[in-house]
Amino acid sequence: MPERGFTSVTVSRQLYHEIEQRARKEDKKVARYASELMEAMLYVEATFSNSTPMFKLISMSSSEVIVRDNKIDRIVGVKCKAADDGKIKLYCQLDNTDYCPHTAFAAALPQVRNAIRR
């Protein structure tokens, strides 16, 4: 039964477990944390929907995602690498890290997520 003031939303088990883990780290209930995430996403989408996107997908292969960063006026390569747990990890060649705005953008793209799942 949902908490008072909430309704149910169906998500994949994998996504639910990810949200649940993050909610624990924030010491929040899953429903509250998921609502905050969605509110933030909707705010960002509404705020920036009419502006030039900061990032744009240029191309994608089985081992790399090419992103255009309009803020710095550069093309950035995001490599797909195997992680220790058997999953795929994205690595930014510009920032030399596995967590930056470029890897986050690439990971958020539905076509990249679908390719990673295969």
Query: Do the Cβ atoms of 92 and 103 come closer than 8 Å?
Result: yes
**pTM of the model as a whole:** 0.56
Residue 53 CB partners (closer than 8 Å, separation 6+): 70
**CA–CA gap between residue 29 and residue 60 (Å, rounded):** 37
Pairing of strands 88-92, 74-82: antiparallel
pLDDT band at residue 49 using 50, 70 and 90 as cut-offs: low
Q: What is the DSSP letter of 100?
A: S
**Distance between CA atoms of residues 77 and 31, nearest Å:** 36
Domain borders along the chain are: 13-48, 55-117
Are 93 and 75 a contacting pair, CB within 8 Å? no
Tens digits of per-residue pLDDT, 60-103? 998 899 999 999 999 999 999 887 777 788 999 999 999 899 99
